[in-house]
Structure 1
Amino acid sequence: MATLLLIVLFGCVWSAAGQDELMKLSAGYKAGAKLAMEQVNSHEGVQQHFLFFRSIKRSELDAGFGAKYLSHHFNLKPTRCPKGTAAEELSKCKFRNDRPLIDCMVCYKTYLDEIQESPKPYIHCIHKPALTKDMIKVRRDACENMSYSAGSVTLLGVKRNR
């Protein structure tokens, strides 16, 4: 009985810890994580709701004038809550430890912490056991190309000839 109580308490703390990690993210990173969660949870094959679990790596490139290119590698973890659970109930969902994590990589441009439609955000999420080295390379290339494709003339970069 004590073991069961310990498992239940551990599950509650574990679930709350993931959402605490999400709340610690800046608004720009949080928006990208939520975008990936929406995409994963809207997939027709998903039965249980997935929630943010932990960040693995984050990077940002300041493009100036309030624009940034963000790259965020993180994991989502399945919960015991069924798909379609109301948003206000999600904080009560307990993580499952009997299912694999989903490994996500998102890259996108923000302006004042709002995700921009152009260039189109790159979102790649897959069950962790199925992630290959080739997929990791494709992810890296997609994110690198996104941040370097936005080159344009800036006021400080213009040189005046006299």
Structure 2
Amino acid sequence: MAMLLWVLLFSAGVLFSEAQESFSNLPDIYKKGVELVINSHDSIQNHFLFLESIHHAEIEAGFDVTHIYHNFYLKATKCKSGTDNADTTACEFRNDQVQEVVDCVICYKISAGEIDEMPKPYFNCMLPQLLSKEIKREREIGCFHAGFGHLTPTPLPSTQS
């Protein structure tokens, strides 16, 4: 029994350290978006940590402007919401089957290394089993409004005489 408990504790520690390592390996422009999502949910009781990236993309728009799309998983910890991200080394993941991973999408614009206020960053987080085609479509529309979809080349009118 003691051996089983030790294996479970060791496994949880490995999972936590892998999540922290994967977050530390993210480029800064993606870390900023993950932190924005984590720090924007005041009504949530537990602190969440980055678990893994599902998909990400960036479009260089020129003039030190980049548009970011990032789909990733977060997982609840035993720490209370509002825990400083620098103090999360002691936060263990909750493993009570009630709190599964949360699927998040964030789209935002970065200028000179900082997230722009305009257009307002779009993000949406929910349990993966609740993702429907309609919600995925809402995410696409939200990213479009956040500027991610406005980047297709537009032909300039000809000024020839």
TM range (shorter): 0.7 to 0.9
Corresponding residue for 2:57? 59
Percentage identity across paired residues of the two chains: 31
1:25, CA displacement in angstroms? 1.0
Q: In structure 2, how many angstroms separate the alpha carbons of the residues matched to 1:59 and 1:87?
A: 24
2:69 touches 2:148 (CA, 8 Å); kept in 1?
Answer: no
Q: Cα–Cα, structure 1 residues 58 and 116, in superposed 2: closer, same or farther, change >3 Å?
A: same
Q: In structure 1, how many angstroms separate the alpha carbons of the residues matched to 2:32 and 2:9?
A: 30
1:86, CA displacement in angstroms? 4.3
Corresponding residue for 1:118? 118
Q: In structure 1, how many angstroms separate the alpha carbons of the residues matched to 2:148 and 2:80?
A: 37
Q: Kindly provide the CA deviation profile for residues 39-81 of structure 1, in whole angstroms up to 9, marking residues without a partner as x.
A: 13x22xx222111111000011110111010000001101112
Corresponding residue for 1:48? 46
Report the RMSD for the aligned CA atoms in angstroms. Answer: 2.3
Q: Cα–Cα, structure 1 residues 142 and 85, in superposed 2: closer, same or farther, change >3 Å?
A: closer
2:69 touches 2:108 (CA, 8 Å); kept in 1?
Answer: yes
Q: In structure 2, how many angstroms separate the alpha carbons of the residues matched to 1:19 and 1:161?
A: 57
The gaps in structure 2 that reach 5 residues or longer are none
SS of corresponding position for 1:120: coil
**Relative to total residues, which structure has the larger helix share, 1 or 2?**
1
Report the TM-score when normalising by structure 2: 0.85
2:109 touches 2:121 (CA, 8 Å); kept in 1?
Answer: yes
Corresponding residue for 1:21? 22
Corresponding residue for 1:92? 90
- Aligned AA for 1:5? W
Q: Which moved more, 1:83-92 or 1:57-66?
A: 83-92
1:75 touches 1:101 (CA, 8 Å); kept in 2?
Answer: yes
Q: Cα–Cα, structure 1 residues 125 and 64, in superposed 2: closer, same or farther, change >3 Å?
A: same
1:79 touches 1:95 (CA, 8 Å); kept in 2?
Answer: yes
Give 1:141-152 correspondences, 5 Å limit.
141-145=141-145, 146-149=147-150
The gaps in structure 1 that reach 5 residues or longer are none
Report the TM-score when normalising by structure 1: 0.85
SS of corresponding position for 1:60: strand
Give 1:64-79 correspondences, 5 Å limit.
64-79=62-77
Asked if residue 32 in structure 1 is aligned to residue 30 in structure 2, the reply is no
The count of corresponding residues between Structure 1 and Structure 2 is 156
Corresponding residue for 1:6? 7
